Amino acid sequence: MSASPYSPSRPRRLIVVVGTATEIGKTWVASRLLRELRAEGFSVAARKPAQSFSPDDSATDAHHLSNATGEEVTDVCPRHRWFPIPMAPPMAADALGRAPFTIAELAAEISWPLPAPDIAMVECAGGVRSPHAVDGDAISLIEELQPDLVLLVADAGLGTINSVRLSLEAIDRGSHVATPIVVLNRFDPAEDLHRRNRDWLEAHLDVDVLSSVPAVLNRLRPGENPHFSDLSAR
């Protein structure tokens, strides 16, 4: 019998991508980062433990992530965790008559390519406190996975200061990981509100607040972030 090409062993660096809300652009940010890192020679992988979506969607989050990493879409999200109804995954499962599942079960289903990828991302569903299973939310999944880094994706516009602060408080109370990085998605430097939101967050929060994918990439490259200082492209 040949050895399995997948393993539960940990990637060299594990990043969890969370959002301040649903439809905030987590998948776009994660896919863009993974695509760029892959182009630079890093081995990458992505996982979406569970996904819910409209049955009219032509492509799911798992499709976008698999396109970025080159993996099979069912490796990114196992088929039995696809829920074609736009609700939080455990609610969607219940509405579809599927069996309930736990955070531990979702985490146990995550497996990685062999050899272990340089950088892997796990994208959560919805916002930080959105239910992910019958017994927990994104914070619970972060606690289970203990990633090296958390990326908190937020909108750049009206209301983002409140949503970022509340999300960071939830992450800080519920997990024991490195300080998150805030990513302001859809940031337009020509928009006065966007600039003022970024400046306020930078001045009042003890976290990095980045407003472009290239800026995030710079923090993920060797030498820029202590969690990635020993990582070099192969």
- Sort strands 136-137 and 131-133 into parallel, antiparallel or unpaired: antiparallel
In degrees and rounded to multiples of 5, residue 99 shows phi and psi of -70, 145
Residue 173 falls within a domain, yes or no?
A: yes
Q: Is residue 76 part of a domain?
A: yes
Nearest to 76 by CA among 179, 6, 2: 6
CA 192 to chain centre: 28
State residue 176's pLDDT score.
60
Positions annotated as catalytic residues are 48
User: Is 1 within a domain?
Assistant: no
Contact (Cβ atoms closer than 8 angstroms) between residue 177 and residue 146: yes
Inside any domain, residue 233: no
Q: How confident is the model at residue 233 (pLDDT cuts 50, 70, 90)?
A: very low
Per-residue pLDDT tens for 50-94?
999 999 988 999 999 999 999 999 999 999 999 999 999 999 999
Question: In this structure, is residue 161 part of a structural domain?
Answer: yes
Q: What is the mean pLDDT of residues 16-43?
A: 96
Domains held by the chain: number: 1
Flag whether 232 is in a domain.
Answer: no
Residue 27 falls inside a structural domain: yes
Given this model, what pLDDT does residue 78 score? 98
User: What is the per-residue pLDDT across 168-211, written as a single tens digit (0 to 9) for each?
Assistant: 999 987 556 667 999 999 999 999 999 999 999 999 999 999 99
| Contacts of 56 by beta carbon, 8 Å cutoff, 6+ apart | none
Better pLDDT: 69 or 233: 69
Token pair 């992530």 in the structure block, residue: 65
Span 19-36, mean pLDDT? 96
CATH of the domain at 111: 3.40.50.300
Task: State the residue range of the domain holding 195.
Answer: 6-227
The answer to whether the Cα torsion of 77, 81, 85, 86 is positive or negative is negative
Task: Enter the pTM of the model.
Answer: 0.91
In a domain, 234, yes or no: no
Listing DSSP states for 104-166 in one string gives HHHHHT--EESSPPSEEEEEPSSSTTSEEETTEEHHHHHHHH--SEEEEEEESSTTHHHHHHH
- Kindly state the tokens that stand for 219: 């923090």
